[in-house]
Amino acid sequence: MKDKDFINKQVVSMADGAKVGTVKDLVFNCLDLKALVVQGERGEGLLAFTDIGTNGPDAVMIESYTVIDWNAGRVLGPESRNTEDLRKLSVVDADGNLLGHMHHITMDPKGHVKHIAVRTVGVFGIGANETLVAGSRVRAIGADMITVEKSRKG
């Protein structure tokens, strides 16, 4: 599943039979999805990834609206980053090559990052190049950039 598979989906409570809100962003801690930022009538809240019942094609299903922490805002802690922040970071490999910027993230069913798609800049998308970098190659997610190990080709 990709990070974009969550954005703008409705969050529905099974116990209440109601739409609780809409997913606005994801929050990661290192290479693990920790929470979804939900925008609802109560403002913004955090839905822990472990509290998701199903991420269906049309909605994210949860047991009850009570699993959302409406007091948390967008932040889980100092190590946490949302996808908006991650997309601003340059990706640099161990040889000092600028690979581009993070474009999207692919995760396994447990929320661990499998790949990050890194995209170079093009003009209106023309000339842009996208490379998949395995999550196992990510060395650090820093304040300014994401560093990755060399590709093991050849």
- The tens place of each residue's pLDDT in the chain, 154 residues long, gives 899 899 999 999 999 999 999 999 999 988 899 999 999 988 899 999 999 999 999 999 999 999 999 887 666 666 788 888 898 899 999 999 899 999 899 999 999 999 999 988 766 667 778 889 999 999 998 888 999 998 766 4
Q: Closest by alpha carbon to 105, among 26, 43, 20, 10?
A: 26
Q: Which domain, by its residues, includes 47?
A: 3-81
Domain C-terminal end among 53, 81, 109: 81
* Distance from C-alpha of 1 to C-alpha of 134, rounded to nearest angstrom: 14
154 is a domain residue: no
Backbone angles phi, psi at 65, to 5 degrees: -65, -20
| Number of structural domains the chain divides into | 2
Shared-domain flag, residues 73 and 101: no
Q: Give a yes or no: residue 153 inside a domain.
A: no
My answer on whether 73 and 132 are in the same domain is no
